[in-house]
Amino acid sequence: MNHQQGGFSLLEVLISLLLVSVGALGMAALQGKSLRYTQDAVQRNEAIMLAQQLLEQMRSNPKDALSSTHKFSSSSAYYKVAGSAFGSSSRSDCATRERGNGGSDVAKADLACWLQAVQATLPVTSSILSANFTICPSQSDGACSNDASSAVLIQLAWKDPSGQCDNNLCIYRLRGEL
């Protein structure tokens, strides 16, 4: 009788070990998904902050962001259409540069410093920057307009190796009034 109880205890230990192993594997899989979702959230937050930063820089430089009719148009130094490259500008120290007088030099420096921040925080390539980044007048949500507008659309994009976004490319759009 003692011999049968020993075998029964061994079976209980094996079943318990199996259950603990399945639970540990489930926790490991959950940890991997959690890391991917956290990375996605961090990148989305960075995109939100970058778009807000550019919008505020444009608001603080109305001399070159807006036309004489107080509208954002393709003549603005901040304007960038999808498929075009960002303009080149001599890079100054972004942290200590003077922005007080505004104008096109400030706008070019704003874009250069903003682009530098984008490249430092989001996984982008030059082709993504050219094809998917947009700063344009907007008459309606999520769409660029050929006509001047008091609203601007800022679109950012970045690579998404985790597969959370369509075609592994995440896109964030901000439409704001200037």
Question: What's the predicted TM-score (pTM) here?
Answer: 0.81
SS3 string, 126-151, reads HHHHHHHCEEEECCECCECCCCCECE
Per-residue pLDDT 10s for the chain (178 aa) are 555 555 668 888 889 999 999 999 999 988 888 888 888 899 999 999 999 999 999 999 988 888 888 899 999 989 999 999 887 766 567 877 777 777 788 888 899 999 999 999 999 999 999 999 999 999 887 789 999 999 999 999 999 877 888 899 999 999 999 8
The position carrying tokens 């303009």 is 87
Structure-block tokens of residue 20:
């603990």
CA–CA distances in Å: residue 51 to residues 63, 101, 114, 142, 156: 20, 23, 9, 14, 8
Spatial distance between the Cα atoms of 132 and 128, rounded to a whole number of angstroms: 5
What pLDDT score was predicted for residue 142? Answer: 76
Q: Which amino acid is at 86?
A: F
**DSSP per-residue string spanning 25-44:** HHHHHHHHHHHHHHHHHHHH
Spatial distance between the Cα atoms of 124 and 116, rounded to a whole number of angstroms: 11
The vertex-89 CA angle with 94 and 131, nearest 5°, equals 100
